[in-house]
Structure 1
Amino acid sequence: MEKDRRSLILDCAKELFATRGYHSTGISDIIEKAQVARGTFYLYFDSKRAVFDVLLESAFETILSSVKPVIVGPTPDRNNILKQLRINLGRALAPLFADRHLARIVVSQAETLDEVAAARMEAFYAALRHYLEESLQEGQEKHVIRQLNTKIVATAAVGMIKGIVWTHATGSESFDYHEVVEEIVEWAAMGIVTR
């Protein structure tokens, strides 16, 4: 029961933060939407910011933990590499495409909330860029990634994905999740992975 109430508070807060914005949402709004007592809210969270931080950290953890190293093996197989890329990308994007409210919080609310949240977002993006850059470098060493500036390509890839998630989250364009994954993998196949 405890976990249910905590989850309910998080879900209601997530929806309110995404639709109204962090600053326009009060604890009383969250309590009203969740239909819990104020004391129940404070049993789980000491502030509205604590709720926001849990939502953000949970999203980051889910995304970063879903990405696994691409295993090249002794004889590189282009199709196998693209398959692993497809799986990784699908896992990383799934939580954001499955939950538009979460996507909106990650790509819009968190970056503009305050310096602490902006720094947290930048650390998240930096971790993604670093992971991609290392993966590209390893791929170059094994001759499955063409010679390129790994820092620029990693930064471009994160920016492209961020833009797609932003567009999805704001509802300005509706993308099919599977098509997004396929197009990004195709982009990688055409421009990054050796033939």
Structure 2
Amino acid sequence: MKGEKRKQLILDCAKKLFAKQGFYRTQISDIVREINIARGTVYQYFANKEEIFICLLEDAYSKWEKAIYDAVELINLKTITPVEYFRLRIKTTLDFLLADPDICEIVMSMGFGLPEGLEKATRKLEEKIRDIALNDFKLGLHNGYIRESINTLHAAEMIAAAVLRSAYYFQNNKKEEKQIDKITDEIVNLFAPGIFTADVLAALS
């Protein structure tokens, strides 16, 4: 097995174990036993489990960023409406999180009680979602389809929190059907009236 594939195998295994057992209960020996490799092999790639934890999160965040980029590449920016674009951003992130329940579990339930550096790493996805929304809002203000009266930072923070918590709820509530389009529409309908100008909203009706 080539080096990068072996490294990814370790990360994938660690992700499942961290999500199931938590950070403190998961040990290097668990990873070694799970994928049947020598303990020394793990240390060829990672100094300790803290480094594995941060690396698997960074790996997931890179995949999310690629998903966001790829989604925009597939649309016509000249014809998509501001609300449709807003919806696309939300749905892409929900698609990503609901397709990877282990990352969803780690990001949403494991931050508190971890060492500062690891806790910060678990919060990074929410910060990234917030920053993308904030940049979109700034562009929207410039183009005249975002209300000038809104606090863009607060709005971006609330949207990031809503997306992550909605994904976590539906990921963990087995009785609820995971209808991503429905969840997306609920978030859009909640926030759009307070974000977009009357002209943008009128064009939807």
- Superposition TM-score, scaled by structure 1 size: 0.82
Task: Classify 1:57/1:110 alpha carbon distance in 2 versus 1 (closer, same or farther; 3 Å).
Answer: farther
Counterpart-to-counterpart distance in 2, 1:111 and 1:63: 23
Answering whether residue 109 of structure 2 is matched by residue 141 of structure 1, we say no
Task: Classify 1:96/1:32 alpha carbon distance in 2 versus 1 (closer, same or farther; 3 Å).
Answer: same
Residue matched to 2:161: 159
Residue matched to 1:24: 25
**Percent identical residues:** 29
**8 Å contact from structure 1 (residues 101, 169) kept in 2:** no
Counterpart-to-counterpart distance in 1, 2:186 and 2:42: 43
Task: Classify 1:172/1:22 alpha carbon distance in 2 versus 1 (closer, same or farther; 3 Å).
Answer: farther
Q: Kindly state the Cα deviation for residue 29 of structure 1 after the two structures are TM-superposed.
A: 0.7
**8 Å contact from structure 1 (residues 111, 117) kept in 2:** no
Task: Describe the superposition over 1:104-158 as per-residue Cα deviations: whole angstroms up to 9, x where unpaired.
Answer: 1111224542211222344543343233223223213322122322122112111
Residue matched to 2:46: 45
- Unmatched 5+ residue regions in structure 1? none
Task: Describe the superposition over 1:158-195 as per-residue Cα deviations: whole angstroms up to 9, x where unpaired.
Answer: 12112113323444664322322232233344332232
Counterpart-to-counterpart distance in 2, 1:98 and 1:172: 15
Counterpart-to-counterpart distance in 1, 2:10 and 2:123: 27
**8 Å contact from structure 1 (residues 100, 168) kept in 2:** no
Q: Kindly state the Cα deviation for residue 33 of structure 1 after the two structures are TM-superposed.
A: 0.8
Counterpart-to-counterpart distance in 2, 1:23 and 1:105: 12
Residue matched to 1:94: 95
Q: Which amino acid aligns with 2:62?
A: E
- Superposition TM-score, scaled by structure 2 size: 0.78
Counterpart-to-counterpart distance in 2, 1:100 and 1:120: 17
Task: Classify 1:71/1:111 alpha carbon distance in 2 versus 1 (closer, same or farther; 3 Å).
Answer: farther
Counterpart-to-counterpart distance in 2, 1:119 and 1:143: 35
Task: Classify 1:187/1:97 alpha carbon distance in 2 versus 1 (closer, same or farther; 3 Å).
Answer: same
Aligned residues: 191
Residue matched to 1:183: 186
